[in-house]
Amino acid sequence: MQKPFFLASRIELFPRTLHLDCMVWASACVFGLSLAAILPTLLSAQQTSPEDIFHHAAQAHPEYALGFAYALGQDAPTVMIAGPTTKGVSGSVANDAPWHIGSISKSFTSTLVMRLVDRGEVTLDAPIGTYLARDKDSMHPDWRTVGLRQLLSHSAGMPANAPRHVTRETFAHAPYAGRRAVLSAMWGDPLPGKSGEFHYSNIGYVLAGFVAEEVTGASWEELIMSEIAAPLGLTSLGFGAPTQSDAARGHQSVLGFRRSVQPESPASDNPRWLGPAGTIHLNMADLVRWGQMHLRACAGHMPEYLAQASCQAMQTPDSSNYGLGWVIGDAGEKGPIVWHNGSNTMWYVVLMLNPEQDLVVAVATNLHAPKRMDELARKLMFALAPGDR
């Protein structure tokens, strides 16, 4: 199979730096918001309606699609969509069309693992070699002694991504076979990072998903559907680039020019084995429902699905200001902000939760526009959470 020419440009976006006061990380599936920047924007932005903010943002860039959804409490999500499916065409994106959410998928993988924890099938701090009996003898001690907590909080010292030649060789593999091939090509070597320090790692999440597969005997994709999509009614959830005709097509930047990418093309996403780190798609309403579930579970209202202690562990900083699948910030009088963002460089999505306001906000677009979308998410959060309600 001919290797896609775009592969290097998509995978080269490695994590960069993380500081307690400012995130500037980047990877194939996630691009970090500046947590320090949230505070002044939330606290000083002019109060206006979310509808006005959304329409102004859509009119500023009408050639691309823009999605916005929010919910207060257990209200049904409000969804607003504008723009064409593809730059330069007339077809509009449907309100119920799915969007590629990139590294927001990490919160799904973490939730899957925590459900296994709740059932006693795994523990967060046991060495992963405990669960990988047939592979542990081929693993360097650095790898087999890390725990799931370290993997989910990016504190295991894992490499950010697979070596480029390994990614090329496994790009067309089926998801589970690809994960096994990639990990087995890497886990014989020492870990590059220092245990206990934050090193953003897609490979760490691929390994966490692989542990879940080995423990349960089902693929990560099957587990996401059976443990998350089905019980929560997230009917739009799927994997890879959305293929529906009324969904937004991702746009890739080539030599400064943006062009749409057909969803059936290998160019439309990273390799399928990267799933646990970031290949999920779903529509804006379901994305907000995902946030609502986490607010309810952390408040103790969904013990049959996710134990309150497990949910709260996910939203407690463990490595720097990263919990288990979520970033945790503080917006002063607006309360804590729990969030994640994601991109495969062709879509960009932000999901923000405000537990004190019982508010979930999500924004999405079909190109890599982190600065603009981060600012839009903050403006909308402020407009919807002006203080005590």
* pLDDT at residue 333, rounded to an integer: 64
Measure the CA dihedral 279/287/343/3, to 10°.
20
The residue behind tokens 């990263």 is: 322
pLDDT of residue 45 exceeding 60: no
Whole-number average pLDDT of the chain: 88
| CATH level 3 topology of 7-282+291-384 | Beta-lactamase (3.40.710)
Distance in angstroms (rounded) separating the CA atoms of residues 21 and 300: 30
179-202 per-residue burial string, b: 16 or more CB within 10 A, e: under 16: bbbbbeebbeeebebeeeebbbbb
pLDDT value at residue 2: 34
Predicted pLDDT of residue 336? 87
Is 310 a residue whose pLDDT tops 70? Answer: yes
Average pLDDT over residues 331-356: 90
Residue 48 binned pLDDT confidence (cut-offs 50, 70, 90): confident
- What are the tens digits of pLDDT across the range 208-220? 999 999 999 999 9
Position 330 confidence tier, pLDDT thresholds 50, 70, 90: confident
Reported confidence tier of residue 283, pLDDT bands at 50, 70, 90: very high
Residue type, 116: L
Residue-level pLDDT at 47 = 54
pLDDT digits (tens, 9 = 90+) for 24-38: 233 334 434 444 444
Q: Which residue has the higher pLDDT, 12 or 381?
A: 381
pTM confidence score:
0.90
Quick one: pLDDT at residue 37?
A: 44
Average pLDDT over residues 81-96: 94
Please report which confidence band the pLDDT of residue 253 belongs to, taking 50, 70 and 90 as the band edges: confident
CA angle 111, 71, 22 (to 5 degrees): 65
The domain segmentation of the chain, as residue ranges, is 7-282+291-384
Helix (H, G, I), strand (E, B) or coil at 82: strand
Q: Are 205 and 154 in contact (CB under 8 A)?
A: no
Q: Is the pLDDT of residue 346 over 50?
A: yes
Burial annotation 283-300 (CB, 10 A radius, 16+ → b, else e): bbbbbbbbbbbbbbbbee
- Would you give the end-to-end CA distance of the chain in angstroms? 57
CA distance 384 to 389: 10
Is residue 95 pLDDT above 50, yes or no?
A: yes
Given this model, what pLDDT does residue 385 score?
82
Provide, rounded to the nearest whole percent, the portion of the chain with pLDDT above 90. 81
The larger pLDDT score, comparing residue 311 to residue 37, is at 311
Phi, psi of 124 (to 5 degrees): -70, -30
- Read off the pLDDT of residues 171-200 as tens digits, 9 standing for 90 and up: 999 999 999 999 999 999 999 999 999 999
Q: Are strands 238-239 and 17-18 parallel, antiparallel or unpaired?
A: unpaired
Contact 47, 382 (CB under 8 A): yes
Burial of residue 143, with CB atoms counted within 10 A of its CB: 0-12 exposed, 13-18 middle, 19 or more buried = buried
